Structure 1
């Protein structure tokens, strides 16, 4: 490499979280544009962007040098004493080869797991242990030698550089930079050059990069303020310092007096020759004694015939053998064995599972108890999941009951090794709205202006985020603010500089890697900053590039609900239900769905879906699967045709007779993504590889790709005899569908789960609804909706009771004559865990005492038997006000008597707790005499309004009744409840809602006029109302808390939530 050339060896990207600005593609583009033949990425203490950088640089034709700008502890990495170990030095390490790259992974991981103290830190022990294959550069500003020189500790500086020289030998360099604008830089640099010369350490020219252009200096300072929570100093002097991506021409001028430093850049570039093998899969270590992985999977599959009660016909054997051959040729048998093992553990421990996606098309996975639906019965193609031509690895998304998902991850750690398992990291990025808000605060502008600008930016869709640039082009109001308001322009300009940058590290919702050896043999790890879980520093894409397959452990609440209902039925009725074998032709289930009673049913509970089910009147599982698939953007418009054709099969028609074999079960309606793919294969001659590209092209909606696919599809259809006039009609049908349709296997899996939840609701209604209430605990609106549904079903909901409640919602049985009667018990009690200001500890103590010694016969009995110290005034008040002591309270006065004399109750309890254990029995003190000691003066009973207010405060909603009960007849005439109106009416369209005014808050406008905010609720929902001055002035007496009313007005969005702007009011 010529001394005239320069490349950057000390470069930070946005993955130096909130410290630097450049995105990796922009850094690579800048290096390429300047003719730099290599580039190093050295983010602060991490390798987050290493794989993205490596791949991008290779594509661009420049040499990638992977490195890290490390933090170095002043003592050891384990020393973390305040004011002693806060200050750290810096060290840049670059990987020369694979050994160096793997040592970087070890150093990064250990600095995070062992050395983290404000920052992830190395110490000398780690540097000595993992020094091979690395080039070390002592940074001019942060190096340990420089720190000591700045502190006038020359001997310590000499000791430090000598130690580094001894450790890294010929691979150590001292950095020099060019910053004449920084005070004392020239002196420090001269001292360092002298120190390095004395120690025999060569110099290297570098320019610590934090942004691409000098004009971005202020933006870089701003992201620092976002990180620290500070506000940008408007007199910021750092804007004159240059940490930009300088060109080769600039470098030649800057370092013309130190040519050897430029020459050493070339030496380092030549020494670094890292070649990574990406995309070569490694699987967890799973040993089956005496068998290969392929043999073990074959045995597992064939064993499944008997376990699944399937006949082993020649056709079935042919299908299994074909699938096994594809899996074996691709080397994926270990993956399937691990997934089967994880799901086996779940099944054996009563953890419900479901598998989503195209994997349900595999007979091998069904026989291996991975999936829950038989692909033969549903006509599911294996090739949609895996085929000989498909290059991508298998992807099996495992759903577990969300309250037990972590148990399966823990099992994986124990089975495959703690160090071999990690959850996948992910990055929270600064999307347009969030960037605006962050920037507003860091620049010191008022919250109001940032909030106003952010709300002008539309919400994006998952996978398609809205940008500031596109918003300025599409939202006139935002463009106008940008032109006319200097504050808005500054905020938006700054936000554009950081938009899309990584802001923080988090945990992927589902992804876990299981390696055959420690995860750090493949990728760097750290702790999740919030939860303390071990996570990969690479995101899911980089993890897969590094060779680790992603195992998706998803948590699904509906599975927890279903398992809870199953267990309640087992415990209460002694009935064991195998949810995998429930009959799929249960008449009661289909009748319930046909009546539209879908609340609490997976995938089928939305108002739109419910309406369609009432029209469809499903009779077979295929109807459920079809509705799950069709109720999505794109296919939604096909639902009416599906319903009409089910009712009247004579309406079924096919554009081409050959489509009948594909669409017969869906009455000729394209229902699944597979329908489109099979049409392309059978009618247009696509291969499975080509059809996979076709599907992806449709999903991306890139016009050029779609046009190319249309031409290919048309040519193929015509060549295979389709009528010319039919082809465009068929293309029109499939064009929208291909992008949005569910694959048939996914719909079958979700449809099957939806049916199971419906089956349990139809056949074990009270147990299922108790499970639904338990799952939704904490969500006031959802609970209110479920309680209302219970009442419609004839199920009473009672307040908690110290004698009948458990922790969660509890089914209460009265005397019964037989099992059939018990099956349809009609009462559910709130659980003790539901009470606010009442800990689970005291709740558990009450339940344990009740189970150990029986029900509490009197209030005195309760106070005497509960010795837990947490039964104090606050918790006793909560029990009384929530109704938990109603059946022990005095018949006259009830809750009011107990509340009025709560000090007497506490005093009685204190006196009793002082008595020696066994005193009652020794002196013959009976339960009745204890009760006599606890006589309380009678008080006037609490009013219904007081009871309801207490229940609302302690339980979150009304149980003994509802404030609206007094005007429910008038409300019954209202077509929509608040929840339906909020979800169903477009913003700005006039509508009418009715309800109970829970609370009000009047304010003065800038003009000194009164306006009002309030909360209106009905039996199932609530909404904020806004009453402007004119409307309030005309109707002020009607807007008092506690009033029942009908309101006419329009929904709008306020602070990201729906609100209702009132135009007219009528008292009820």
Structure 2
């Protein structure tokens, strides 16, 4: 009879740089061994829980969700050297209540108790113990530590009894482990004795840190990477020593061989597994409650806002506008996303009221007329033939995705508004995982193996710098890298090991834009962690969406700040209220800048490659910019020659069928946009736009089985059981199978890289606005542009050259006239002080405040006295020397070289005088 056993102490790769058990590989092995259940108990975190759960269920394995937490004897809020020691404890969720309590315990460890590790104390366990089974853990467990390292049996027994009291008589187990280590002998001798004397049951575990027995060597490498040492140093110093080849996923038979004398400990693993029954809920939305006026429901309020928004947007509400809005509203209501739109509308309303620049749109949301009416987007989908179904498909249930661009300097104000409105406990940022990339893995492993740094770096640089590059791909496409691998045994070993660790999670960080907002406190849905000062989820963005949580991208876009800064300078000078939103998108003078590729500084159109493309394309209308923005990307670039030829030689444009002309004439007979694929399928074969979007997705992801099944529907249509025509198909529309197949093949070819027109249209509008400002207000635009790159000296130099090409004068930095940013003065651009290296914000702020309070500076000593009076710590050696070398004091009559010799003595003199009034004040120089 086959032995039944469940592993309950398991570390995946999400025990960062400690576990080496990739989740799919771990569960495949579990399946091979015929094991029906397995736990996940990563160190202090639940980063891998959702992936583990889904992958286990997919394989027919029951996932047991848990964590090996860190506990302290004292107050977990106390963070001192005396309270630095911690112990381990395994927690397993029995049910939903237990899972929620586990998430709270893990979250509190990070948010409140983090001190080297995410720690909690027994008061937290007492509060949140319900629904949880606890195991005494490894040699770092409290009971084991008392036995082995303190040699105190009675204290160990008391520790076990205390844990049993916390979790309940049937919910605490003493772990037996045997990894062939000397310390295990004491455990196997004394733990059963404690069990016998207290009645606390035993459970057999293996402290799994890798999948296969032979993986121990790679695990050792991972540990050395974590420690920042060489393998030799790690092992010679005896740090983080694991018995070789013992901490792997043992088979049930191997566990029986180890613990044959403890049958109860083996059978208890199955009993625990039977009691652990947590099911994660996917697909149900947990949108935050949106407070609406009393006289409205959420549906009526969205309709009211949409109606008034349409009246503001359009002079006349045509039948087309009304039908489109009604279709979208019905779809939004049917799919349950009314509150979603209200939430987005609300924080964008706040941003606009606070004059925080908001982008005109991003992604497919620009295809929605409701978004346009609500002010979420600023581009009319009817003007540019943008499709709502590309954004929200009524035939495929998925969360809408509205990503918003804000001014990068004020993005955090919007996030803080959301935190204040919904509550800090219901808003968090989102985790991302830094993994070992191809080059990074080579360098990490080379360092651990103590190889020559220069040699390792040369090998790493042989891997091409391309998106999604892997070591395996590099061996296929780089002859130099392949030759290094094949010709040198040491290099081969390096690369072979790097192949094993590549892709391993290395550390956590905070997603640059992602924010999650929930109905209840977030830690009731997912566990939380802390990254510096940011509270972050322990689930990634995709997992949060699958769990039904609202994820938003609050992106900071530098160009919006450039536009706002330029407009502010224009309005301050001219005393009016200029709005770039009022510009004509087809302004011929502005478009002529694109025609001659004078687009340095223009959003998404300033690279040398794009400018070369523009010279050939010679865009003459805004739609050409949308197409250019879509085509100038890897993949669609191959179609650029055809597009340019067809634009300049319309007589050469040929359509496979006349029905394609209305769809493709805008792009000169070429498929450029995903929306065009959808329109072809809809208009030539009778698909709904929702069905067309599903097919477009399948083509984009190269799902061959779906594509071939849909090919038949595209050509022959589809009939219901009663003969009702569900999809017409091209044959019924008079298009032959031969032509239809050619069209279908053409779509497949283009769908691989066809771009989202809604996104391209919105971003091209941003580009047009920057070009409009550059053309009509070059001084203000170039000043704002240079202010946006003040930390990038080469970029500033480039923009200064461009300013001079435009015959704009550049005035030098001057303590009497310069501000933090570049400004416009006397029909010239004044250099901003923040662009001077080593000159910090505090010094600039003190200079500007002193100038505003007392007028222009007359000499250097007066400058030092007045600035010091504002902020006694503002003057620092590096900053002052940089200002002098930049000529910022030249207008006061000083030469740079002369002032460099004198400035320190002047500052000392002023500060020595100040010492008489401020005891203890010291010179900074």
Alignment TM class, shorter chain as reference = over 0.9
Q: CA deviation at 1:609?
A: 2.3
Task: Measure, in 2, the Cα distance between the counterparts of 1:915 and 1:128.
Answer: 59
**Structure 1 equivalent of residue 812 of structure 2:** 799
Q: In structure 2, do the counterparts of structure 1 residues 173 and 915 end up closer, same or farther at CA, with 3 Å as the change threshold?
A: closer
Unaligned residue ranges in structure 1 (runs of 5+): 814-824, 918-1068
Q: Which structure 2 residues correspond to residues 248-267 of structure 1 after superposition, within 5 A?
A: 248-267=252-271
* Residues 1:339 and 2:337 are matched in the alignment: no
Larger Rg belongs to: 1
Q: CA deviation at 1:617?
A: 3.7
Task: Measure, in 2, the Cα distance between the counterparts of 1:594 and 1:241.
Answer: 67
* Residues 1:178 and 2:183 are matched in the alignment: no
Q: Alignment partner for residue 777 of structure 1, among 790, 808, 817?
A: 790
**Structure 1 equivalent of residue 724 of structure 2:** none
Corresponding residue pairs, total:
894
Residues 242-251 or 709-718, more deviating: 709-718
**Structure 2 equivalent of residue 149 of structure 1:** 147
Q: In structure 2, do the counterparts of structure 1 residues 418 and 570 end up closer, same or farther at CA, with 3 Å as the change threshold?
A: same
**Structure 2 equivalent of residue 95 of structure 1:** 93
Q: CA deviation at 1:720?
A: 3.5
* Residues 1:749 and 2:762 are matched in the alignment: yes
Q: In structure 2, do the counterparts of structure 1 residues 859 and 249 end up closer, same or farther at CA, with 3 Å as the change threshold?
A: closer
**Structure 2 equivalent of residue 482 of structure 1:** 485
**Structure 1 equivalent of residue 127 of structure 2:** 129
Q: Which structure 2 residues correspond to residues 80-91 of structure 1 after superposition, within 5 A?
A: 80-82=79-81, 84-91=82-89
Determine if contact 2:834/2:840 at 8 Å carries over to the other structure: yes
Determine if contact 2:71/2:119 at 8 Å carries over to the other structure: yes
Task: Measure, in 2, the Cα distance between the counterparts of 1:584 and 1:867.
Answer: 51
Q: Alignment partner for residue 356 of structure 1, among 339, 362, 375?
A: 362
Describe the superposition over 1:153-176 as per-residue Cα deviations: whole angstroms up to 9, x where unpaired. 223212211111112221111111
Q: CA deviation at 1:778?
A: 1.3
Q: CA deviation at 1:714?
A: 5.4
Q: Secondary structure at the match of 1:828?
A: strand
Determine if contact 2:214/2:245 at 8 Å carries over to the other structure: no
**Structure 2 equivalent of residue 502 of structure 1:** 505
Q: CA deviation at 1:721?
A: 2.6
**TM-score, normalised on structure 1?**
0.80
Q: Secondary structure at the match of 1:427?
A: strand
Task: Measure, in 2, the Cα distance between the counterparts of 1:402 and 1:874.
Answer: 28
Residues 288-297 or 27-36, more deviating: 288-297
Q: Alignment partner for residue 297 of structure 1, among 285, 302, 314?
A: 302
* Residues 1:632 and 2:633 are matched in the alignment: yes
Q: CA deviation at 1:73?
A: 1.0
Q: Secondary structure at the match of 1:51?
A: helix
Describe the superposition over 1:617-648 as per-residue Cα deviations: whole angstroms up to 9, x where unpaired. 43332222122122223333444454455556
* Residues 1:428 and 2:434 are matched in the alignment: yes
Task: Measure, in 2, the Cα distance between the counterparts of 1:911 and 1:54.
Answer: 68
* Residues 1:526 and 2:529 are matched in the alignment: yes
* Residues 1:311 and 2:316 are matched in the alignment: yes
**Structure 2 equivalent of residue 492 of structure 1:** 495
Task: Measure, in 2, the Cα distance between the counterparts of 1:502 and 1:404.
Answer: 32
Describe the superposition over 1:739-760 as per-residue Cα deviations: whole angstroms up to 9, x where unpaired. 2222221111111111111111
Residues 705-714 or 588-597, more deviating: 705-714
Q: In structure 2, do the counterparts of structure 1 residues 625 and 210 end up closer, same or farther at CA, with 3 Å as the change threshold?
A: same
Determine if contact 1:864/1:912 at 8 Å carries over to the other structure: no
**Structure 2 equivalent of residue 573 of structure 1:** 574
**Structure 2 equivalent of residue 539 of structure 1:** 540
Determine if contact 1:864/1:913 at 8 Å carries over to the other structure: no
Task: Measure, in 1, the Cα distance between the counterparts of 2:631 and 2:574.
Answer: 38
Determine if contact 2:408/2:556 at 8 Å carries over to the other structure: yes
Determine if contact 1:12/1:41 at 8 Å carries over to the other structure: yes
Describe the superposition over 1:717-748 as per-residue Cα deviations: whole angstroms up to 9, x where unpaired. 45543245544553454333212222221111
Determine if contact 1:3/1:263 at 8 Å carries over to the other structure: no
* Residues 1:409 and 2:415 are matched in the alignment: yes
Task: Measure, in 2, the Cα distance between the counterparts of 1:87 and 1:871.
Answer: 44
* Residues 1:270 and 2:274 are matched in the alignment: yes
Q: CA deviation at 1:846?
A: 1.8
Residues 396-405 or 694-703, more deviating: 694-703
Q: In structure 2, do the counterparts of structure 1 residues 896 and 328 end up closer, same or farther at CA, with 3 Å as the change threshold?
A: same
Q: Secondary structure at the match of 1:43?
A: coil
**Structure 2 equivalent of residue 107 of structure 1:** 105
**Structure 1 equivalent of residue 287 of structure 2:** 283
Describe the superposition over 1:824-868 as per-residue Cα deviations: whole angstroms up to 9, x where unpaired. x2x212112222333322222221222233223455654554434
Q: CA deviation at 1:777?
A: 1.1
Q: CA deviation at 1:581?
A: 2.2
**Structure 2 equivalent of residue 326 of structure 1:** 331
Q: Which has the higher contact order (CA 8 A, sep 6+)?
A: 2
Q: In structure 2, do the counterparts of structure 1 residues 140 and 634 end up closer, same or farther at CA, with 3 Å as the change threshold?
A: closer
Q: Secondary structure at the match of 1:135?
A: strand
Task: Measure, in 2, the Cα distance between the counterparts of 1:278 and 1:874.
Answer: 56
Q: In structure 2, do the counterparts of structure 1 residues 680 and 175 end up closer, same or farther at CA, with 3 Å as the change threshold?
A: same
Task: Measure, in 2, the Cα distance between the counterparts of 1:553 and 1:875.
Answer: 34
Task: Measure, in 2, the Cα distance between the counterparts of 1:182 and 1:166.
Answer: 30
Task: Measure, in 1, the Cα distance between the counterparts of 2:329 and 2:530.
Answer: 39
Q: In structure 2, do the counterparts of structure 1 residues 230 and 634 end up closer, same or farther at CA, with 3 Å as the change threshold?
A: closer
Q: Secondary structure at the match of 1:39?
A: strand
Task: Measure, in 2, the Cα distance between the counterparts of 1:502 and 1:105.
Answer: 21
Task: Measure, in 1, the Cα distance between the counterparts of 2:114 and 2:875.
Answer: 42
Task: Measure, in 1, the Cα distance between the counterparts of 2:182 and 2:518.
Answer: 50
Q: Alignment partner for residue 740 of structure 1, among 753, 764, 767?
A: 753
**Structure 2 equivalent of residue 419 of structure 1:** 425
Q: In structure 2, do the counterparts of structure 1 residues 436 and 581 end up closer, same or farther at CA, with 3 Å as the change threshold?
A: same
Q: CA deviation at 1:123?
A: 1.0
Q: Which structure 2 residues correspond to residues 586-625 of structure 1 after superposition, within 5 A?
A: 586-625=587-626
**Structure 2 equivalent of residue 1004 of structure 1:** none
Q: CA deviation at 1:401?
A: 1.3
Q: CA deviation at 1:703?
A: 5.6
Q: Which structure 2 residues correspond to residues 389-468 of structure 1 after superposition, within 5 A?
A: 389-461=395-467, 465-468=468-471
Task: Measure, in 1, the Cα distance between the counterparts of 2:298 and 2:796.
Answer: 49
Determine if contact 1:525/1:537 at 8 Å carries over to the other structure: yes
Describe the superposition over 1:74-101 as per-residue Cα deviations: whole angstroms up to 9, x where unpaired. 322112221x323211111111111111
Q: In structure 2, do the counterparts of structure 1 residues 459 and 707 end up closer, same or farther at CA, with 3 Å as the change threshold?
A: farther
Determine if contact 2:331/2:394 at 8 Å carries over to the other structure: yes
Q: CA deviation at 1:289?
A: 2.8
**TM-score, normalised on structure 2?**
0.92
Q: In structure 2, do the counterparts of structure 1 residues 899 and 297 end up closer, same or farther at CA, with 3 Å as the change threshold?
A: same
Q: In structure 2, do the counterparts of structure 1 residues 176 and 914 end up closer, same or farther at CA, with 3 Å as the change threshold?
A: closer
Q: Secondary structure at the match of 2:552?
A: strand
Q: RMSD of aligned C-alpha atoms?
A: 2.4
Determine if contact 2:884/2:896 at 8 Å carries over to the other structure: yes
**Structure 2 equivalent of residue 159 of structure 1:** 158
Residues 416-425 or 132-141, more deviating: 132-141
Q: CA deviation at 1:446?
A: 2.2
Residues 618-627 or 419-428, more deviating: 618-627
Describe the superposition over 1:299-330 as per-residue Cα deviations: whole angstroms up to 9, x where unpaired. 11001023224422233222111111000011
Describe the superposition over 1:990-1045 as per-residue Cα deviations: whole angstroms up to 9, x where unpaired. xxxxxxxxxxxxxxxxxxxxxxxxxxxxxxxxxxxxxxxxxxxxxxxxxxxxxxxx
Q: Secondary structure at the match of 2:752?
A: helix
Q: In structure 2, do the counterparts of structure 1 residues 494 and 914 end up closer, same or farther at CA, with 3 Å as the change threshold?
A: closer
Q: In structure 2, do the counterparts of structure 1 residues 895 and 256 end up closer, same or farther at CA, with 3 Å as the change threshold?
A: closer
Determine if contact 2:142/2:156 at 8 Å carries over to the other structure: yes
Residues 235-244 or 164-173, more deviating: 235-244
Q: CA deviation at 1:428?
A: 0.9
Task: Measure, in 2, the Cα distance between the counterparts of 1:452 and 1:866.
Answer: 50
Residues 651-660 or 473-482, more deviating: 473-482
Describe the superposition over 1:757-806 as per-residue Cα deviations: whole angstroms up to 9, x where unpaired. 11111111000000110111111221111111001000122320112111
Determine if contact 1:218/1:239 at 8 Å carries over to the other structure: no
Describe the superposition over 1:251-287 as per-residue Cα deviations: whole angstroms up to 9, x where unpaired. 2221111111111112111111112221211111111
